[in-house]
Amino acid sequence: MKRLLLASLFFIGLILIWHFIVVAEIWSPVLLPGPASVGSYLWAAATDGSLAEASWVTMKRLMIGYLIGCVIGLPLGMLTARSKTLNDTLGVLALGLQTLPSVCWVPLALLWFGQSESAMLFVVIMGTLWSVLIAVDNGVRNLPPIYTRAARTMGSNGFHTLRHVILPASMPYVISGMKQGWAFAWRSLMAAEIYVTLLTGYGLGHLLHFGRELNAMDQVIGIMLIIVLIGLLADKVLFSPWERFLHRRWGLNG
Amino acid sequence: MNLVTELANPPPAKLHINGVSKTFTTQRGSVHALDKATLTVSEGEFVCLVGPSGCGKSTLLNLIAGLDTFDSGTVQMDGQPVTGPGRERMMMFQEHALFPWLDVMGNVLFSLNLKPGLNKQEHVEVAKYYLQLVGLERFMHANIHELSGGMKQRVALARALAPNPRVLLMDEPFAALDAMTREQLYVDLQKICKAREKTVIFVTHNVREAVCLGNRVVLFSPNPGRIREEFIVNLPRPRDINDPALAGMAGEITKALKGHTAKPAEE
Ligand SMILES: Nc1ncnc2c1ncn2[C@@H]1O[C@H](COP(=O)(O)OP(=O)(O)O)[C@@H](O)[C@H]1O
Ligand SMILES: [Mg+2]
């Protein structure tokens, strides 16, 4: 309760400071609109449905691409951890591509897929895939061999060991890899949406782009706030429960 | 009742290890870990393998567990060759090897869930029985990292006992514990072994520990790993690690062990 109160005070304070800077007219209100005008933009966008629609379009792209990236990256990471040949080939490729800022995929995606949903998905998948793959590879590689040995004495083998020992044992790595993958995917999707206008659906990035085109600073700041909120929410909803679980089970140093 | 038959003591097994050799080949060369080891363990016996580290004790235990293959010789249990891991031979390691993603109960259930024949409810009852046996029923829902070293080994013991194996293989299970904790475990392990008749092979480099627990103490020497000498321990049970008679015997065995380690084995 006290924490909530402090946090609320902090953010209310921020908004107040913002408000006073605007009132003091240090910058032109066109360049820095106040919280009230950003609020009224958001309210209008929320009531006419454009905000919800853009958020939905963005989230759909992100979710689908992210899921595909995870579903491909997970088994591939296990394979590269287990096979020397795959590690020397696919593993090295993944390491290289992971260092590539995922925005760099945008031009290639456009040339390959045109201005389509597939291009967006491709960018998100590339953002997710490599970090998930490398994290799973790391997790499986650093697995203490004693776990699988112990499991074998108890009659576990093959798929059972994979499902009940290797996967949960590498969870700390997998979760942090999935979190990183999420962050990369989210950033690259925003970049793609800002640079590419798709007729199949306007996402949050497009609203940001149009805001700039129209010199509508209240829209730009409003959408930025929404993007931050979604990022925060994803962290709290998608990853916090897992991290709490890891913390509880593995302990502080785990 | 299913549960009654499940908890009944199965006959302890007889082990026969005959001329088993094992060489590890690594990049830095090959290690002759075990040289023509021959050892017979009768039903219900508690045998302690003693020797300095690197003399092949763990190697032998792993072979009996079916976790590793060997180059020559035979390992038989009740006349049947050992070809791989099996629930009738359960192993306890020096590192507790408990799974941190499961709680205490989950760890004990892991081995039970793999055993056919009982339903979930019965699994839980069996697991509770063994947790009670090792004195940890109150910690059923604790996380592994919350337990002390001694408690972790108790859970590992419960997990190894849970599928009701006939042979228990213990690889220096108490080596990392402090003396006080160890002493309590000697007392409890003796009780548990009395309650759950098993054939036990127990590896240690602590001679006193071996004399306290074993019916028989087998001495190993390194380079290559060989079985050198055996001592029968006839002291009455339950044994106290601080008993002078036990200390005297341990002294004798230590002397013999030093002799074997000092002079290399004649070819
Ligand atoms: N997996 C392995 N690979 C290579 N060498 C090994 C392996 N396991 C054991 N050894 C070697 O075999 C010898 C015997 O080891 P071990 O059985 O663990 O001894 P102990 O348990 O008596 O201390 C040691 O020299 C050890 O280095
Ligand atoms: Mg050893």
Q: What is the pLDDT of residues A52-104, one digit of tens each?
A: 999 999 999 999 999 999 999 999 999 999 899 999 999 999 999 988 988 88
- What's the mean pLDDT in A152-179? 92
Residue A196 gets which letter from DSSP? -
- The residue behind tokens 């209240």 is A218
Domain ranges of chain A: 34-249
Ligand 1 atom closest to the Cα of residue B225 is 14
Cβ distance B96 to B155 under 8 Å?
yes
Spatial separation of the C-alpha atoms in residues B246 and B236, rounded to whole Å: 10
Per the model's pLDDT, the better-predicted residue between B130 and A101 turns out to be B130
- What's the mean pLDDT in B122-133? 95
Ligand in nearest proximity to the CA of B52: 1
Residue B266 gets which letter from DSSP? P
Test site for ligand 1: of B30, B48, B59, B219, most ligand atoms within 8 A of the Cβ = B59
- The superfamily CATH assigns to domain A34-249 is MetI-like (1.10.3720.10)
Quote the pLDDT of residue B264: 56
Test site for ligand 1: of B22, B24, B218, most ligand atoms within 8 A of the Cβ = B24
Which residue is closest to B160 within chain A, CA to CA? A154
Quote the pLDDT of residue B260: 83
CA angle B17, B232, B238 (to 5 degrees): 110
Q: A143 in contact with B at a CB cutoff of 8 Å?
A: no
Verify whether the Cβ–Cβ distance A249 to B110 is below 8 Å: no
- Which residues keep their CB under 5 angstroms from ion ligand 2? B 58
Handedness of CA A158, B120, B142, B129 (dihedral sign): negative
Which residue is closest to B103 within chain A, CA to CA? A249
Q: Please report, to the nearest 10 degrees, the dihedral formed by the alpha carbons of residues B77, B30, A153, B218 taken in order.
A: 50
Q: Which domains does chain B have, with CATH numbers?
A: 3-262 (3.40.50.300)
Residue A118 pLDDT class (50, 70, 90 cuts): very high
Q: What count of other Cβ atoms lies within 10 Å of the Cβ of residue B92?
A: 25
Verify whether the Cβ–Cβ distance A155 to B101 is below 8 Å: no
CA B34 – ligand 2 centroid, Å: 12
B 76-135 residues with CB below 8 A of A?
Answer: 85-87, 89-91, 93, 95, 97, 99-103, 110-111, 114-115
CA A161 – ligand 1 centroid, Å: 25
Shortest-distance Cα residue to atom 26 of ligand 1: B54
Residues with CB under 6 A from ligand 1: B 24, 26, 31, 33, 51, 53-59, 225
pLDDT tens track for B22-53: 999 989 889 999 999 999 999 999 999 999 98
ipTM here: 0.89
Q: B143 in contact with A at a CB cutoff of 8 Å?
A: yes
Quote the pLDDT of residue B267: 45
Verify whether the Cβ–Cβ distance B101 to A171 is below 8 Å: yes
Q: B230 in contact with A at a CB cutoff of 8 Å?
A: no
HEC string of A42-110 equals HHHHHHCCHHHHHHHHHHHHHHHHHHHHHHHHHHHHHHHHHCHHHHHHHHHHHHHHHHCCHHHHHHHHH
pTM for the full predicted model: 0.87
Closest CA of chain A from B255, distance in Å: 34
List CB contacts (< 8 A) between A145 and chain B: none
